[in-house]
Amino acid sequence: GKLSINFAARFAKRPRLEIGHHTDIAHDCRLVVGKEVKIGAHVEIAGAVTIRDSGGHPADPARRAAGAPPDEADVKPIVVHDNVWIGSHVLILPGSDIGEGSIVSAHSVVSGVVAPYTVVAGNPARRIGTLTPPPERAHLAPVAKSPAVAKPDIAPAPSTDGAATAG
C-alpha cells in the first residue's frame, strides 16, 4: 500500500520524524511533519490513519484567505509512545501525546493527552477503558475514576397510605 509523508520545513530547518523499531504502519496512512513527530517502538498503526503536527492553515479567517501559513504556535509536536495500537481512520492532531500501551479505537480523533494503558474512542477521543500494564510497568497503570454519586432527579414518591414521607 501507499504511505504519504510530508515535511514542512517552514517551521523547523529540519523537521524530524522518528519511528521506533518493530513499528508497523499500514497502507493509506499520512504523516505531516512541521516540527516533530515521534512514534515509539512496537507501535501498530492501522490503515488510513492521519498524524499531523500542523493543521496546515491559520485559524484566523483573514490570514487563511490571504494564503498565509499556520501560526508557528499552532504547530505542536506529537508523541506516540511504545506499544500503542492505533485503529483505522484515526486522526491525531497537533500536540497529542499517546501514552505507552494505549489503544485508540477506529475512527477516533485524538487531541491532547491519552494516559498510558488506556483505551480511547470517539470524536473527541475519550477514555472508554483501561488496560493492565505488565508488572514491570505497573507504575504506569491508569488511575481509576471514582464512581459518580447518583443524585435523584425527582422527589420521592408519596407513600401508598397518603401520608407524607420524610426526605
Taking the CB of residue 129, how many other CB atoms lie within 10 A of it? 12
DSSP annotation of 9 reads T
Cα–Cα distance measured from residue 47 to residue 26, given in angstroms and rounded to the nearest whole number? 5
Cα–Cα distance measured from residue 97 to residue 80, given in angstroms and rounded to the nearest whole number? 6
Cα–Cα distance measured from residue 138 to residue 24, given in angstroms and rounded to the nearest whole number? 25
- Determine the 3-state secondary structure of 139 from DSSP: helix
Q: Can 139 be counted among the known catalytic residues?
A: no
Taking the CB of residue 70, how many other CB atoms lie within 10 A of it? 21
Catalytic residue among 22, 57, 81, 107: 57
Instruction: State how beta strands 103-104 and 118-121 pair.
Output: parallel
CB 93 within 8 A of CB 109: yes
Residues designated as active site: 57
